Chain A
C-alpha cells in the first residue's frame, strides 16, 4: 500500500486566500484524522471521521476551518480566509479501528507545510 497520501507537500499563500489541503487514507481504513503541528502547541487533533462522518470537530480552531470527507478515499481540510497564524504542518492520519480492544495504529501521511504570508 502507498500509505497515507497528502497534497500538496508545501503551500505558500497570502493572507486572506483560501487554502485546501487534501488527503487520501489507506484503503480500507475507517478512521481519518486531521492534525496540526506547530512549535508552540505541538501536535493537535483538529477533527476526525469514521466511515466518512465527522465524529469530533472540537479541535477545529474556528469557523475559518472546515473539513469534508465525501467518500472513503478522499478528505479535504479547507481554511478560508487564511491567516499567518495558520502557518503549520498539517498531518492526515488513518486507522482501521480505534477504541476498545481492537484499537489500531494511526498511520500518518508526510504532512503539508503551510505558510501564510
Chain B
C-alpha cells in the first residue's frame, strides 16, 4: 500500500528565509507525487506535481520540489518565503497505474512565518 510521511508537524521560518518541507513516500512502482497547500478555512490548492521526466519540478508561487527516487523523497523548497506562505502543506502520492485512482495524503506540515 502506498503511504506518505511528512516528518515535520510544524515549521517556523523567518520572512525572507529559505524553506524546505520534507516528504517521504512508500510505493512499489512509479509514483505520481503532489504538493498541495491549504490556507486557513480554505480547500487544498495544488502547488506542483511530478509524473515523469525532469526530477526538479517548478510550481506556482515560487515553489519547487525535487524527486529523489533513491531516497523516496519529494521535498518542497522555496528560496525566500513571504508572510502569505503561512499555511498547511500536504504531500500526496498517487499510482501511475490506471485503475488505481486514489491519492494518499501525508498528515501535513504547518508553516508559520515570523517577521
Measuring CB to CB, which residues of chain A are less than 8 angstroms from any residue of chain B?
4, 31, 42-43, 45, 48, 50, 55-56, 91, 93, 98-103, 105-111
Contacts and interface: CB of A to CB of B under 8 A. Distances in A.
Interface of B: 32, 34, 36, 41-46, 49, 51, 90, 94-108
A110 B44 CA distance: 8
A99 B107 contact: no
A98 B101 contact: yes
Contacts of A110: 41-43
B42 A31 contact: no
Contacts, number: 62
A103 B93 CA distance: 12
Contacts of B98: 99-102
Contacts of A50: 101
